[in-house]
Homo-oligomer: A and B are copies of this chain.
Amino acid sequence: MEQQSPDLDGVGVRHRATIAEIARAADVSRQTVSNVLNAPHRVREETRRRVEQVIADTGYRPLKSAQSLRTRRSNLLAVGFQSPGAEPSPVLDVFLHALSTSAQTLGYQILLLTAGSDGAEIQAYTEAVVDYAVDGIVLTGTHTHDERIDWLRRQRLPFVTFGRPWGALGGHSWVDVDGAAGTRAATEHLARAGHTRIAFLGWPAGSGSGDDRLQGWKQACGRAGLPTRGLLRRSANTIEDGRKTCAAVLDQPRPPTAIVCVSDALAVGAWLEMRDRGLVPGRDVALIGFDDSTTASVIGLSSVAQPLPAVADACLDALRGQLGSEGPSSGRWRQVLLQPELVLRESG
C-alpha cells in the first residue's frame, strides 16, 4: 500500500481533499475546518483565512456546491446516531439492521455515524458529504429546536428524519410512528379492564416523542373521564429512574392501579420495583411499556411495538424520491406516520 501523501499536491486532479487533509495542511483540527464550513463566525479571522486558502488551493469548494460537484451517485447513505453513554438503544439497533439490509438490496451502502451531540453530528455529516459524497442522510431521534434539521435544510441535501420535526417547520421528508396512538391504545385497554386511576411514567418535557406519548395517555384518560392529576411522573430514561418514579406513584395516598410508561426502560424499572414490593404486575398493578424489547417479552411485560422494518423502508422510499429528481423539492417530500401495535402479555 502506498503511503498517504503528506501534502495536497495533485490531490485535486483525481480526488477531492478530505476534511482531515485540509486540517493537516492548514495545521488546524478537523473541528476547525468544519467550523469554517458551517459556522465561520466561530473561527478566528487569521485561522479562517488560512483554512480558506488551503481549500482554495485544492480547487475544492465543499458543501456550498456539494451537489453540483457530483458527477455521479456514491450510492452511500449516512445514518446518524447519538448514543449518550454506553447504552445502545434496542430500537435504533433494530432500525439500523433493517435499514442496512433494505439499503443493500437497493444497491446502497450505509455509512454509520455516531456522535455525542448535535454539533458533533453536524460535523460528522459535513465529513460524510465532503469526504464521501453521500447521496443522502437519515437522521434519527429528532427533538424540538433541532439544529441538525436546520443545517440539513440549508445544505439542500436529500435527507429524511426518523421522527417528526417537533415544533419546527415541516419542510422536509420524515417517517415516524404515532406514539400517541400507542399510549392511547394502552390506556384505553386498561380503562376497559376497569382501571380508574392510571399513572404515566414519562420523560422530561421538551422531547418530541416523549410529549407525544404523554398526550396519548392524557387523551384516553380525558375521553374515559379518568383523572390525570398527581398521576404523572417524569424522569430520565433508565431502569433505575423507572424504579424510583414507580415507587413515587405507588407511595402516594391514592396510588394508581395501572401504569403506562413512555419506554420499556422505565417499565422494566417499574416491574422490578413492583416485584421487590411483592406485587405481581398484571395481578396487583397493571403495567404497559413502550418498544416491545426482548426483555419485555421475557418478563411478560405488555408493550407498544413500533413497526421498525416499515419505518426503515419508508425512510429509503423518501430518500429515493428525492434522489430521483433534480434536487430536493417540496413536491418530493414524503411524510409518513406509521401505526404502532399494542402487544399484550401478563403484565397488562
Contact = CB atoms under 8 A, between A and B. Distances in A.
A112 B112 contact: yes
A72 B109 contact: no
A126 interface: no
Contact of A124 (B71, B75, B104): B104
Nearest to A114: B100
B1 A326 contact: yes
* Complex copy number for this chain: 2
Interface in A1-40: 1-5, 11, 14-15, 18, 20-21, 30
Contacts of A75: 18, 20, 131
Interface of A: 1-5, 11, 14-15, 18, 20-21, 30, 67-68, 70-73, 75-76, 81, 83, 86, 88, 90, 93-94, 96-98, 100-101, 104, 107, 109-115, 124, 127-128, 131-132, 158, 239, 268, 271-272, 293-295, 298-299, 309, 323, 325-327
24 contacts: A1-B67, A1-B70, A1-B158, A1-B326, A2-B67, A2-B72, A11-B72, A15-B72, A20-B107, A88-B90, A90-B294, A93-B93, A96-B112, A97-B114, A109-B112, A109-B113, A109-B131, A110-B112, A132-B132, A268-B298, A272-B298, A294-B294, A298-B298, A298-B299
